[in-house]
């Protein structure tokens, strides 16, 4: 499966007829447009994969593609947040379990100390 990213031709001299400057998500990049039948004009939308324009597209198609990419990114961010929260909860439980274990060990040590002192008093 390939991932194509919409980009808008911004123009500008790139020094080669098969290269064009584009705005891709707010970043200016130079893209190879040599695979297209007709060279796109400034303002045209293209679908870019690995630095190559694969096809032209309408502004509506570009908007739909960017919305789909945004939804995918949001879903990934939500999954990452869920995993982070689960990891933090697991760490909290582990620490709480260790704290309870440490507390129990301390109580056991106090009980042994009390028993030893009582035994020492009884032996006197």
Q: Cβ distance 45 to 62 under 8 Å?
A: yes
Alpha-carbon distance 40 to 52, whole Å? 13
* pLDDT value at 73 more than 70: yes
Kindly compute the dihedral angle of the four CA atoms of residues 106, 111, 114, 119, in this order, to the nearest 10 degrees. -140
- Indicate the pLDDT class of residue 82, thresholds 50, 70 and 90: confident
Mean pLDDT of the chain: 85
Burial of 118 (0-12, 13-18, 19+ CB in 10 A): exposed
Instruction: Give the position of tokens 């982070």.
Output: 84
- Indicate the pLDDT class of residue 61, thresholds 50, 70 and 90: very high
| pLDDT over 70, % of the chain | 91
Domain layout of the chain by residue ranges: 5-57, 58-117
Kindly compute the dihedral angle of the four CA atoms of residues 93, 97, 103, 109, in this order, to the nearest 10 degrees. -170
| CA-based torsion, 117, 122, 123, 124: positive or negative | positive
The model's pTM is 0.58
pLDDT of residue 99: 66
CATH 2.30.30.140 for the 5-57 domain, yes or no: yes
Alpha-carbon distance 5 to 54, whole Å? 10
pLDDT of residue 102: 74
- Indicate the pLDDT class of residue 91, thresholds 50, 70 and 90: confident
Higher pLDDT, 117 or 22: 22
Q: What is the DSSP letter of 36?
A: S
What digits encode the pLDDT tens for the residues 12-45? 788 899 999 999 988 999 999 999 999 999 999 9
């Amino acid at each position: 499966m390939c991932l194509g990213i919409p980009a808008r031709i911004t123009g500008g001299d790139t020094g080669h007829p098969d290269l064009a400057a584009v705005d891709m998500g707010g970043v200016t990049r130079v893209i190879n447009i040599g695979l297209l039948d007709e060279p796109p004009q400034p303002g045209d939308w293209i679908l870019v994969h690995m630095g190559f324009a694969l096809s032209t597209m309408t502004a509506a198609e570009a908007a739909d593609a960017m919305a789909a990419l945004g939804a995918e990114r949001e879903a990934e961010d939500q999954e990452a947040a869920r995993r982070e929260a689960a990891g933090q909860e697991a760490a909290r439980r582990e620490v709480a379990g260790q704290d309870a274990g440490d507390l129990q060990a301390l109580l056991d040590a106090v009980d042994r100390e009390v028993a030893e002192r009582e035994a020492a008093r009884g032996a006197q």
